[in-house]
Amino acid sequence: MRPQEWRHGYDLLKETGLLSGTLYPLLMRMTDHGLVEAEWREPAQRGRPARHAYRLTSTGLALARAAGEDTQSPSFKASPA
Amino acid sequence: MALAVNILGNQRRTWALAMQAEFEAARDDGRELMFALGCFLAACRELPRHEEGRFAIASHALALMLFVPVAAFLLSSVLTGFPGSYLGHAGGSGLLEISSEQGPLLNEANRSAVPSLLLIVSLLAGLNLRIAWLAVESDWARLTRVGALSAAATATLVIFSAVVFGDHSVALAQLAALVVQLSAAAALARWHGRLRCAASFYP
């Protein structure tokens, strides 16, 4: 994964396996809290609308790395199903 | 997608446009229905989080929990009567019979006025439903006119029942309900006015 790469919403959908009903509220929340930034990109095909692209901010990246270290630490125990 | 875009409102306009753009990519993939359904659910989840959404919830709740039940009560009363009141069971079906259940103040002299009373009550029921629709549509100009008509019909009911039957308990209950309804509608209208002012500042 390249966390600083810009990604479109539908591509994120396919990479994460999340549904749009889950992904978009997450993106909205993370953007509101400054963890994700968004910008408009010109479409690859003519006649299509401009697309929103997203990537983690430095704050979001630091949080993701901290969360990743927490899950990899020996003291971390996954909750039972 | 159109529903999701409408529900998201002005405060989430950017996200609505973003979803619409991604819908095209989903359509290329043949997954547009699931994508649109998810966007609709996401928009519904956002409703309570912004003021436009809270207003939409409030106006629909007011319509469904205040105006429509009052209309339903009035309509059912036209059909089955006003138990416990001076009219007793003198509803639509009771007009064909003379019985002791038709209330203590009804007699042969004023019984012929019951159809006119029921007509006024039916009109009030219809006006309540119209007010409910206009509140949801936020059409305050028309709601004001229909509200005035309701007030006039209620005043007629109060005078009519006092003169003909010597008792206006049912009419006064309707008057109290009308005051509550129009006060609630006025509060909604003020809220809507503030939202429109705020929306005029959005680019």
Query: What pLDDT sits at residue B10?
Result: 80
Instruction: Answer yes or no: do B80 and B129 share one domain.
Output: yes
> Which of A21, A43, A51 shows the shortest C-beta gap to B38?
A21
Q: Is the pLDDT of residue B126 over 90?
A: yes
Of B24, B26, B42, nearest to A24 by CB-CB distance is: B42
Chain B contacts of A24, Cβ < 8 Å?
15, 19, 38-39, 42
The answer to whether B9 and B50 are in contact (CB under 8 A) is: yes
Domain count for chain A, please give it: 1
Is residue A44 predicted with pLDDT exceeding 50? yes
Residues B175 and B104 in one domain: yes
Which strand (E) or helix (H) includes residue A6? Answer: none
| pLDDT for the residue B105 | 58
Inside any domain, residue A62: yes
Average pLDDT for residues B158-171, to the nearest whole number?
Answer: 76
Side-by-side strand order, sheet with A51-56: A7-8, A51-56, A36-41
**Which domain does B43 fall in, by range?**
2-49
Write down the mean pLDDT value for chain A: 84
pLDDT value at position B143? 93
Using pLDDT thresholds of 50, 70 and 90, give the confidence band for residue B97: very low
Specify whether B150 is located in the same domain as B70.
yes
Q: What percent of chain B has pLDDT over 70?
A: 82
Q: Which residues, other chains included, contact A57 with Cβ-Cβ below 8 Å and sequence gap of 6+?
A: A34, A35, A36, A37
The burial class, CB within 10 Å (0-12 / 13-18 / 19+), for A32 is: exposed
Asked if B45 and B103 sit in the same domain, the reply is no
| ipTM score | 0.81
Which residues in chain B (13-42) have CB-CB distances under 8 A to chain A? 14-15, 17-22, 24-26, 29, 34-35, 37-42
For all residues of chain B together, what is the average pLDDT?
82
Tokens 């993106």 belong to residue: A27
- Residue B44 shares a structural domain with residue B101: no
Q: Does B53 touch chain A (CB under 8 A)?
A: no
Poorest-confidence range of A70-79, B10-19, B143-152? A70-79
Q: Which domain holds residue A24?
A: 7-67
DSSP state of A24: H
Residue B19 is inside which H or E element, if any?
helix B13-28
Do the beta carbons of residue B168 and residue B161 sit within 8 Å?
Answer: yes
CATH of the domain at A15: 1.10.10.10
Q: Are B143 and B96 in contact (CB under 8 A)?
A: no
pTM greater than 0.80: no
Is the pLDDT score of B142 beyond 90? yes
pLDDT of residue B94: 47
| Number of domains composing chain B | 2
Closest-CA residue of B relative to A21 is B38
Same domain, B116 and B45: no
